[in-house]
Structure 1
Amino acid sequence: MTTLRRCAAALVASAVLGLTAAPAALAAPSPAPSSELPGGLYGKSDPTYDGVWRQSLALLAQDTAGVKPADEAVTFLTGQQCANGGFPSYRADTAKGCDAAVPLDTNASGAAVQALAALGGQDAAVKKTVDWLKSVQNEDGGWGYNPGGASDANSTSLVIGALAAAGERPADAKSPAGKTPYDALLTFAKPCGGEDGGAFVYQVESPGMVADSTAAAVLASHGKGLAATGGDAGDVKGTDCEKATTLDGAAHNGAAYLANGLAKTGHFDTPPMPGADDSSPKPDFGNTADAVVALSVQGRAEQAEKPLEWLRKNSAAWAKENGPAAYAQLIFAARAAGADPKDFGGTDLVAALSATGPAPQAAGAKSPAAKGDEQAGKDDTKADDDSSSFTNWWIVGVLFVAAVGAGFLLSGRRKNQS
């Protein structure tokens, strides 16, 4: 998920839940001055929508490459955690307790768990977040972007990955109604035939960018997280959509949808935003990278080759412009497909990622785990607490997505309540 999608998702969720913070969040969408950014943070752009997200992906990607992050980078992430265990998208003032003005974010929380579990030495912080995620599980077994929001495929998938990373069995996480995350995930799978047949939609009433939600759901159907590696056995059923009543069958159909969508050009496109001067579709690097991971995990190495090669040849400028999370997505794609992230189309993705934040520890240096345990202890003492740049047309586009998405979601919620 790119920063733009997180921005749009946050606005949709705010509109649906009636949060008053949404308009204020638009006040500073452009990169913040570097002097205002906290120490340890990766990237130089405004972290309002993706501070925890990009930090988590950066730390997780470094760990997969055998790089030990700087202590201050880990401390920044653990310091974002609220007393109840949840993470917001970002909070600038960590000296203050979390309250209603700092909405908690299941996506940021799920990504943070995956990063901290991989780094080790953060058991207390990981457990608190896992417990919080379980406490806000919806009746249908899934999760929404913010607690109280309708379940969606992306959020549910990220939490499945977090539970697995923490050593939990996602299938054992049952809602009061007895539903599991996998039960919820299956509801987003479209039947064969018609537009986007076989894909996983973001929400039933609000399909969204289906390549994004499909890649996430295929990964989660295997109980895997963001940094998953390729599957042992290939999916030999071909690329035809087949009638599916199980999650395994839906995962096959989702992977087939991704493979077919990438077959011609090797990449997905993102539609133009309303108000854009250029109405032509643009390559979607993030979704293409995520699809490579999903196809690899599904055992479709052959179908992952063409998009991986396209990314090798074309993604350098995109990653440089979009920063830490973009580099991390490419590292995940390279690793899942068996490529070398340190020589990806002539770019050392690991070095480029590390250059966006504090210098990592030298090989053989002391692990940040000890400080992580210390930070977790400090967080426990807070138990009494209350709980890339955009142009104008991008802002208009995000507001349009938020308004349309909110309409779909509100419509769906009314139907459920009737």
Structure 2
Amino acid sequence: MNVRRSAAVLAATAVIGAAAPAVAASPSPSPSVVTPDGLYGSADPTYDGVWRQSVTLLAQVEQGVDPAEKAVDWLAGQQCANGAFPAFRADAAKACDAKVMVDTNSTAAAVQALAATGGHQDAPGKAVAWLKSVQNKDGGWGYMPGGASDANSTSVVIGALTAVGEQPAKVRTGGRTPYDALLKLALPCTGDGAGAFAYQPDKKGKLAANADATAAAVLGALGEQPTNIQADDDTASASCAKPGDAEQAAHNGASYLARTMAKDKHLTSVLPGSENQPDYGNTADAVVALSAADFHTEATASGRWLAAHALKWAEQSGPAAYAQLVLAAQAAGLNPRDFGGADLVALLNATGPQPRDVPAANESRAPEADDKAAEKDEEGVSVWWIIGVGLVAGIGVGFLISGRNKKRQP
């Protein structure tokens, strides 16, 4: 058995208003917004600047790339004095005021990236303090401060807490933890969507299965678990039991994803008014969730499907999609430097400032680093665990980032 580090960042397009609250955002680029120096990607950053920068930096670090200093500085400079981050602010020299819309998802993603890159030691702690201050009484978080808790936002904050060494189970308000909030969104093992998670209850309090929310919640529920669910046992992929705790709920969610993707190896777009077509981002969400829950056979199969079909999508979508595929490939046990014939790391680096150092394509991580990480994982300590979800152009676009050592067959 070899120890591989499994990490992934995933993106999924979901129903507007289902994967995130309504946002006053236009899908058209703002002609007055100039892409800042240091930011990855050339598209209008108004709605995803902090998000795409965060996932790009995370993917680079995971592949041994030393990011450009100005890229890290740009991200840190987006933080407001109260510790929160907005999706983007053009004039970082101007203090944040009531018109600057901060959110939990951008803040949590930035925490994870800055904790991984280092150099701005105070920023992650300030951001986590703000996140704790806006925790809902049910233990969870909504996209906007004070908004109703949802599976995606709660999960990305769990990732931020874990990235700075906090124990999510000890972050309570009203006696409730983030895991309590996720369990309230877990569907039973009977009926449609058995074992899945809902994004939020509908107006009547009913829960409906949501693949993106399920992938997020699987990762969130595993955020503090000391061991991997089912311990490399792929044979349990169809099982579902009453979700009495976060561990079982995560396994149920992964089982739902495995069943849903068993035939085609991908998920299908469910956007209103669009034709049925493969949903590359949501499929990547599912790959990371399956891998995190030790459904390795299923994760690898869908990872290979992405390698054969998702490169054009990533080229059109920009750095966040490339970053997502870099880490999704790794989670699936595939090579990001030769993914469908493409070097995803090189393609990602080319979308922004030149990193300070880039390992050669045939250069692997130092064995001693993986050995030390493996020793920690054997002791029941997850080396790092980061997850998130964000908004792009008014459409819910979820990015799920996870990292943990895996025992995988070579």
Match of residue 329 from structure 1: 324
CA displacement 1:88-142 (0-9 Å, x = unmatched): 1111121221122111111111111111111123220010001111111000000
The one of 142, 157, 160 equivalent to 2:158 is 160
How far has the Cα of 1:249 moved from its partner?
A: 1.4
Match of residue 114 from structure 1: 112
* CA distance in 2: counterparts of 1:54 and 1:173, whole angstroms: 27
1:151 aligned counterpart, secondary structure: coil
Is 1:77 matched up with 2:75?
yes
* CA distance in 1: counterparts of 2:136 and 2:165, whole angstroms: 21
TM-score by length of 1: 0.78
Is 1:180 matched up with 2:177?
yes
The one of 342, 351, 355 equivalent to 1:360 is 355
RMSD: 2.7
Contact 2:169 2:178 in 1 (8 A): yes
Match of residue 342 from structure 1: 337
* CA distance in 1: counterparts of 2:63 and 2:44, whole angstroms: 26
* CA distance in 1: counterparts of 2:172 and 2:78, whole angstroms: 27
Change (3 A) 1:192 1:347: same
Contact 1:293 1:333 in 2 (8 A): yes
Is 1:271 matched up with 2:280?
no
Match of residue 254 from structure 1: 253
* CA distance in 2: counterparts of 1:333 and 1:208, whole angstroms: 26
* CA distance in 1: counterparts of 2:296 and 2:217, whole angstroms: 18
Structure 1 alignment gaps of length 5 or more? 15-21, 365-389, 402-418
TM-score by length of 2: 0.79
How far has the Cα of 1:243 moved from its partner?
A: 2.2
Match of residue 196 from structure 2: 199
Change (3 A) 1:224 1:88: farther
The one of 105, 117, 122 equivalent to 2:103 is 105
Q: How many aligned positions are there?
A: 350
* CA distance in 2: counterparts of 1:156 and 1:134, whole angstroms: 11
User: What pairs up with 1:217-256 in 2 under 5 angstroms?
Assistant: 217-223=217-223, 233-234=232-233, 236-256=235-255
1:282 aligned counterpart, secondary structure: coil
Contact 2:38 2:71 in 1 (8 A): yes
Contact 1:13 1:149 in 2 (8 A): no
CA displacement 1:305-333 (0-9 Å, x = unmatched): 22111001001000001111111111121
Change (3 A) 1:5 1:269: closer
CA displacement 1:360-389 (0-9 Å, x = unmatched): 11359xxxxxxxxxxxxxxxxxxxxxxxxx
Contact 1:234 1:298 in 2 (8 A): no
Contact 1:62 1:350 in 2 (8 A): yes
Match of residue 370 from structure 1: none
Match of residue 45 from structure 1: 43
The answer to which structure has the higher helix fraction is 1
The one of 79, 90, 93 equivalent to 2:91 is 93
* CA distance in 1: counterparts of 2:76 and 2:230, whole angstroms: 32
Match of residue 213 from structure 1: 213
Match of residue 403 from structure 2: none
Change (3 A) 1:196 1:161: same
* CA distance in 1: counterparts of 2:262 and 2:239, whole angstroms: 13
How far has the Cα of 1:234 moved from its partner?
A: 3.0
Match of residue 12 from structure 1: 21
1:117 aligned counterpart, secondary structure: helix
Change (3 A) 1:34 1:293: farther
Contact 1:269 1:282 in 2 (8 A): yes
Change (3 A) 1:43 1:312: same
Change (3 A) 1:208 1:361: farther
* CA distance in 2: counterparts of 1:317 and 1:115, whole angstroms: 26
AA aligned opposite 1:122: H
* CA distance in 1: counterparts of 2:91 and 2:199, whole angstroms: 32
CA displacement 1:384-405 (0-9 Å, x = unmatched): xxxxxx9xxx98xx6xx9xxxx
The percent identity for this pair of structures is 55
1:359 aligned counterpart, secondary structure: coil
CA displacement 1:16-58 (0-9 Å, x = unmatched): xxxxxx2xx32xx334569811111111111111111110000
AA aligned opposite 1:269: T
* CA distance in 2: counterparts of 1:106 and 1:204, whole angstroms: 20
Change (3 A) 1:90 1:194: same
Greater alpha carbon shift after TM alignment, 2-11 vs 234-243: 2-11
Contact 1:31 1:44 in 2 (8 A): no
Contact 1:48 1:90 in 2 (8 A): yes
Match of residue 60 from structure 1: 58
Change (3 A) 1:239 1:6: closer
Contact 2:64 2:358 in 1 (8 A): no
* CA distance in 2: counterparts of 1:75 and 1:6, whole angstroms: 34
* CA distance in 1: counterparts of 2:177 and 2:83, whole angstroms: 21
* CA distance in 2: counterparts of 1:34 and 1:43, whole angstroms: 16
Structure 2 alignment gaps of length 5 or more? 1-9, 360-391, 397-410
AA aligned opposite 2:21: V
2:193 aligned counterpart, secondary structure: coil
1:163 aligned counterpart, secondary structure: helix
Which of 1 and 2 has higher RCO (CA within 8 Å, sep 6+)? 2
Match of residue 385 from structure 1: none
Contact 1:271 1:281 in 2 (8 A): yes
